[in-house]
A and B are shown apart, each in its own frame.
Chain A
Amino acid sequence: MRIFFYYFVFPGMLFSILLGIFASWFERKITARIQWRVGPPFLQPLYDVLKLFSKETVIPERGSEVVFIMSPIISFVVSVFVATLVGIAQFYPEIGFQGDLIVVVYFLTIPSLCIILGGASSSNPLASLGASREMKLVLSYEIIFWCSVAVVWIKTNGLLKLSNIIHFQTQTSPVIYSISGFIAFVLAFITALAKLGRVPFDIAEAETEISGGPYIDYSGALLGFFKLSQYVLLVAVPFLLCELFLGGVNVLKYIIILILIILVENTNPRLKITQFLWFAWIVLFPISLIAIILAIKGL
Chain B
Amino acid sequence: MNRIKNITKSIWVFHFASGPCNNCDIEILDVLTPRFDVERFGIKLVGSVKHADAILVTGMLTRKGAPRLKELYEMAPKPVVVIAFGSCASSQGIFKPSYNRTVPVDEVVPVDVYIPGCPPRPEAIIDGIVKVIKKLRGEI
Name A residues whose Cβ lies closer than 8 Å to a Cβ of B.
28, 32, 35-41, 44, 47-48, 50-51, 54-58, 207-208, 211-212, 215-220, 223
Q: Please give, as numbers and ranges, the residues of chain A lying within 8 Å of B51 by CB-CB distance.
A: 212, 215, 218-219, 223
Interface class of chain A by DSSP? loop
In-complex Cβ contact of A212 among B3, B46, B79 (8 A): B46
Q: Please give, as numbers and ranges, the residues of chain A lying within 8 Å of B77 by CB-CB distance.
A: 55-58, 219-220
Q: Compute how far the CA of A48 lies from the CA of B41 in the bound complex, rounded to whole angstroms.
A: 11
Closest Cβ of chain A to B45, distance in Å, is: 9
Closest Cβ of chain B to A272, distance in Å, is: 18
B9 at the interface (CB under 8 A from A): yes
B97 at the interface (CB under 8 A from A): no
B34 contacts A44, C-beta separation under 8 Å: no
Q: Compute how far the CA of A41 lies from the CA of B3 in the bound complex, rounded to whole angstroms.
A: 20
Could you list 13 examples of A-B contacts with CB < 8 Å? A35-B34, A48-B10, A54-B7, A55-B53, A58-B50, A58-B75, A58-B77, A207-B46, A207-B47, A211-B46, A212-B46, A212-B48, A218-B51
Q: How many A-B residue pairs have CB under 8 A?
A: 79
B39 at the interface (CB under 8 A from A): yes
Q: Please give, as numbers and ranges, the residues of chain B lying within 8 Å of A28 by CB-CB distance.
A: 39
A47 contacts B6, C-beta separation under 8 Å: yes
In-complex Cβ contact of A51 among B47, B50, B53, B78 (8 A): B53
B37 contacts A32, C-beta separation under 8 Å: yes
